[in-house]
Structure 1
Amino acid sequence: MIVRQRPHALKLFFTLRGSVIQQIYPQLLIITLLSSLVATIQHVSPGFFPSYTTTPFALLGIALSLFLGFRNNASYDRWWEAREQWGQLMIDARSLARQVISFMDQEMEAGPQTRQRLIYLTIAFVHALRHQLRDTSPWQDIDRYVEPEHHAVLRNARNTPEALLRLMGKKVGYCRRQRLLSEFLVQSMDERITSMTGVLSACERIKNTPLPFAYALLVHRTTYLYCFMLPFGLVSSLGVVTPLVCVVIAYTFFGLDALSEELEEPFGLAANDLPLSAMSRAIEISLLEALDVTELPPEITPENGYLH
């Protein structure tokens, strides 16, 4: 994720961080060369390209803007829903830890160890969810928070976060049988685990259900056709200025298209994706502090303006 910048007016035109120029510069280069070639031919041989009215290009540009705007709104909705789900996960994890710390009977022999293990499982779930959404290996982050006898079960599980939630449920059931928690608190903690299950399912839905391919294909094709046809329609009226105008229009349309693709998958490692690593570490630190752990992992800070 890009750390918020507030560039002044001049710097705004030269800022690359957070922009999509890196993704679309090949298309812009092609449009520049094509429009320059068309403008040069028209300048050397006036009348080589017939004079067209710009009305069809204006109408097509309006329609394309509507399509791109709708697609960007849909992509942003996915990005924002993903952020809301991780915000809910932070609420659930902190609330569950608070309930465990505040109400679990610490006078009984099994109390302190059970409290620690339940909070550790919560931390492991957060890391496991992040790794599943990014298709990376979670074991380096979660092994130290899970009892060794559960490692084999987790490695054989098809869905590691879901397996961790089951272990958390068993721990709550153990607390009920050992009378470490009252019936009311057991129900309240189970509701928190259920809410975390909802976060897991919602994130899986966002990850596994992209926008319809046919719609994305239509927008891609229309954008390319429009930008490649544009120099031929404008050269008779704009002349040598045609390359500049075409590149600006192409930057707008190709940029919106590339940005919507990036926001469509909010759990990745692209510049504008969610900083799942930083959010996971924030939850981890918060829960370890609840256990009065003094040696905390360092916070993840931005590197070169990026927060991962």
Structure 2
Amino acid sequence: MIIRPRHHWFRLLFVWRGSVLPNIVGRLALVLAVSVASVLSREWWMNAHANSALSIPPFTLMGVALAIFLGFRNSVSYERFWEARRQWGNILVAARSLVRQVVSVLPGESHAAFRLQLVRAVSAFAFALKHQLRQTDAAADLALRLDAPALAEVVAARFQPQIVLLQLANWLADEQRRGNLSEMEWLALDKSLSVLGETSGACERIASTPIPYTYRVLMNRTVMVYCLLLPVGLATSIGWLTPLIATFVAYTFLALEIIGEQIEEPFGTEPNDLALDALCHTIEYSVCEMAGLAPLGEAPVAHDYVLN
């Protein structure tokens, strides 16, 4: 996630880090080269193929249709991004609720070891979910937060966050059978566990059902063909202004396409994806503070204005 201070509008015109310009500069150079070639060959084309000369009106109609298409695609991508952010917000709320309930119903030094075990496991759940969504190895983060028996069971599983939730449920059920939790208290804690399970399932659904690949191929081809044909149509009307206008229009369409591609997969590590490392640390810090414990690990720091 890009973290930058607000700048004056004039300074924003020259921002490089945090923009999508580095991703499309090669394609913009290609459009610029086609624009220059179109202007240089304009006179020859008009003399040899006057009846086949392109003009602005067809590109105006195509541009409006393409802009609507891109807007729809970006709306779908942002909806996926926002739902992912909302689900992680629900994880934060449910984790706080679970720890708050345990701390309030199991106070005192006699339950200190159990509270420590539960808080570390809640933090481990967040880190396990992050690694599952990013398809990375969670062993190092889990080893800091789980004891050896629990760690061995979780690491051997395919869906590690769900195994952590199962362990939490078993531990709380044991406390209920010992008489440390009433039936109502157990049901309230189980509700918080259910919310964690539902939100993790929602995140898995977003990660496992991307926008259809054919849709992406269609967008890429349509945008590129339009941007490469546009200079041919503009050259006969505006002459040497063609490189400027065509490159600017191409920047707009190509940037919208790249932004849509980045936010449609919100759990990755691209600059515009969710900062899952920071979210996991926030969850851990919050639940540890409620239980009077010290969080493990250091808070992520933004590098080049990007926070992972």
TM-score range, shorter chain: over 0.9
Cα deviations across residues 255-305 of structure 1 (Å, max 9, x unaligned)? 101110000000111111111101101111112222322476433232321
**Alignment of structure 1 residues 187-226 onto 2, 5 Å:** 187-226=187-226
Cα deviations across residues 218-251 of structure 1 (Å, max 9, x unaligned)? 2211111111111111100011111111100100
CA distance in structure 2 between the aligned counterparts of 1:152 and 1:295, rounded to whole angstroms: 22
CA contact (8 A) 2:142 2:151 kept: no
Q: Which residue of 1 aligns with 2:88?
A: 86
Aligned-CA RMSD value: 1.7
CA distance in structure 2 between the aligned counterparts of 1:281 and 1:215, rounded to whole angstroms: 36
CA distance in structure 2 between the aligned counterparts of 1:151 and 1:242, rounded to whole angstroms: 63
> Letter of the aligned partner of 2:103 in structure 1?
I
CA contact (8 A) 1:2 1:17 kept: no
CA contact (8 A) 1:43 1:240 kept: no
Q: Which residue of 1 aligns with 2:116?
A: 116
Runs (5+) with no aligned partner, structure 2: none
Distance 1:44-1:96 versus aligned 2 partners, 3 A rule: same
CA distance in structure 2 between the aligned counterparts of 1:302 and 1:114, rounded to whole angstroms: 35
> Letter of the aligned partner of 1:149 in structure 2?
P
Q: 1:38 offset after TM fit, Å?
A: 1.2
**Alignment of structure 1 residues 243-254 onto 2, 5 Å:** 243-254=243-254
CA distance in structure 2 between the aligned counterparts of 1:296 and 1:128, rounded to whole angstroms: 15
> Letter of the aligned partner of 1:136 in structure 2?
T
Q: Which residue of 1 aligns with 2:63?
A: 61
**Alignment of structure 1 residues 157-236 onto 2, 5 Å:** 157-236=157-236
Q: Which segment drifts farther, 288-297 or 220-229? A: 288-297
**What count of residue pairs does the alignment treat as equivalent?**
306
CA distance in structure 2 between the aligned counterparts of 1:193 and 1:22, rounded to whole angstroms: 43
CA contact (8 A) 1:68 1:256 kept: yes
TM-score (norm 1): 0.94
**Alignment of structure 1 residues 1-308 onto 2, 5 Å:** 1-42=1-42, 47=47, 50=50, 51-104=53-106, 106=108, 109=110, 111-294=111-294, 297-308=297-308
CA contact (8 A) 1:285 1:297 kept: no
Q: 1:122 offset after TM fit, Å?
A: 0.5
Q: 1:49 offset after TM fit, Å?
A: 6.2
Q: 1:145 offset after TM fit, Å?
A: 1.5
CA contact (8 A) 1:52 1:236 kept: yes
Cα deviations across residues 146-190 of structure 1 (Å, max 9, x unaligned)? 121122221221111111111111011111111111111110110
Distance 1:16-1:129 versus aligned 2 partners, 3 A rule: same
CA distance in structure 2 between the aligned counterparts of 1:35 and 1:48, rounded to whole angstroms: 19
> Letter of the aligned partner of 2:74 in structure 1?
N
CA distance in structure 2 between the aligned counterparts of 1:242 and 1:158, rounded to whole angstroms: 55
Q: 1:213 offset after TM fit, Å?
A: 2.0
CA distance in structure 2 between the aligned counterparts of 1:83 and 1:89, rounded to whole angstroms: 10
Distance 1:114-1:14 versus aligned 2 partners, 3 A rule: same
Q: Which segment drifts farther, 239-248 or 148-157? A: 148-157
TM-score (norm 2): 0.94
CA distance in structure 2 between the aligned counterparts of 1:154 and 1:279, rounded to whole angstroms: 21
Distance 1:121-1:294 versus aligned 2 partners, 3 A rule: closer
**Percent identical residues:** 37
Distance 1:49-1:199 versus aligned 2 partners, 3 A rule: farther
CA distance in structure 2 between the aligned counterparts of 1:105 and 1:181, rounded to whole angstroms: 12
